[in-house]
Structure 1
Amino acid sequence: MSGVDPDFYRRVMGRFATGVTIVTTRTGDIEHAMTANAVVSLSLDPVLLGVSIEVDARFHDAVLEAGVWGISILPSSATGTAQWLATRGRPLHNQLARIPHVSGLTGVALLSGALAHVECETTDTLRTGDHTLLVGHVVSVATGDDQSAALVYYRGQFGALQ
């Protein structure tokens, strides 16, 4: 109805610098992870966080089933991790085998060396076109000792922001 070209829209939104995170969840004995930059603080009372997940991504069904998820905010040194977990078709099993991580309060993987961690229980979902917006009640937050620059995404490239 709007007549906006999706490819041009993507290029326009690429001019909006975003932080880079890894979103994780767990179903059974499988740890699921994906790179995400569509993460937003939604509310302070109650404390809510949102993340947008592509409906066609296999992470989508896993996180809906699990009902809990974690966010690891990446330092600029984690570009390789962000690229790996953004790769379509990577093996489902052992995605985090070579990535140091710990199990959080909810049982989801939280990446070691992250600038900060947030864990959520899903409270609501909203199907928005080809994505679902997950709304999570924040149950745990932590910051690391790392004072590194943050990993950011701008114009289709990873970069750093001090």
Structure 2
Amino acid sequence: MQTTHVPSDPDFVTGYRVLSEDIAAGIAVLSCRRGTKTHAITVDSYLDVSYDPPTMAVSVYEGSRIQESLERTTHFALSVLTRAQRPVAQWLGEPGQPLHGLLDNIPTTTTPTGIEIVDGTVAWFELETEKSVEIATHVLTVGRVTACGRAMDEAEATPPPLVRWGRQYGTFTE
């Protein structure tokens, strides 16, 4: 049986949340520098916007500390995690984490502008902020890709990416 939720339904937001959790999403680490420190958080609301010019966007909660950091910098990075990096996603996704030292126990490399990215990722992207737009409770930050690559040995096969589906992290197989 099909269930329909409409805005006049008192459970509309709950219905939307349940249904939107059924959209599989890749997991990445968003990182940026604030002064001399790197700030980072797990995200699943990012997307490729354009190939020409290479452009991506990320959505971050408006009142978060990482959003404050994004507003004070011109560059940020996304590290797309592998299945094996689930502990990294869980660590950086926990609320109440300290602002500094989040990446101290995680192997990292730096981008050309000095932003830390997670080692061994499916892919990484360094972005220069083009525009930020407040939408509902979040800020959509659009950036032009200034550098990208893999943070692993090029001879290695690309490992399966980590995805969020429902309220769980996992991966997929054919």
TM-score range, shorter chain: over 0.9
Name the SS for the 1:66 alignment partner. coil
String of CA shifts for 1:11-54, please: whole Å, max 9, x gaps. Answer: 10111101000000001121100111111111122211000011
Give yes or no for the alignment of 1:67 onto 2:74.
yes
Structure 2 residue ranges without an equivalent (≥5): 1-5
Give yes or no for the alignment of 1:160 onto 2:171.
yes
More strand by share: 1
Q: Report how many aligned residue pairs link the two structures.
A: 162
Query: Aligned partners of 1:70, 1:108: CA distance in 2, in Å?
Result: 7
Query: Aligned partners of 1:142, 1:127: CA distance in 2, in Å?
Result: 29
| Equivalent position amino acid for 2:145 in 1 | V
Q: Please, which moves more after superposition, 139-148 or 18-27?
A: 139-148
| Equivalent position amino acid for 1:160 in 2 | T
1:130 paired residue among 126, 137, 153 = 137
Q: Paired residue for 1:57?
A: 64
In the TM superposition, residue 57 of structure 1 has moved relative to its aligned partner by: 1.1
Give the TM-score normalised by the residue count of structure 1.
0.95
Structure 1 residue ranges without an equivalent (≥5): none
In the TM superposition, residue 114 of structure 1 has moved relative to its aligned partner by: 0.7
Give the TM-score normalised by the residue count of structure 2.
0.88
In the TM superposition, residue 9 of structure 1 has moved relative to its aligned partner by: 1.2
Query: Aligned partners of 1:16, 1:33: CA distance in 2, in Å?
Result: 24
What does residue range 28-43 of structure 1 map to in structure 2 within 5 Å? 28-43=35-50
Q: Please, which moves more after superposition, 139-148 or 39-48?
A: 139-148
Give yes or no for the alignment of 1:48 onto 2:55.
yes
What does residue range 10-159 of structure 1 map to in structure 2 within 5 Å? 10-143=17-150, 144=152, 145=154, 146=156, 147-159=158-170
In the TM superposition, residue 93 of structure 1 has moved relative to its aligned partner by: 1.3
Name the SS for the 2:100 alignment partner. coil
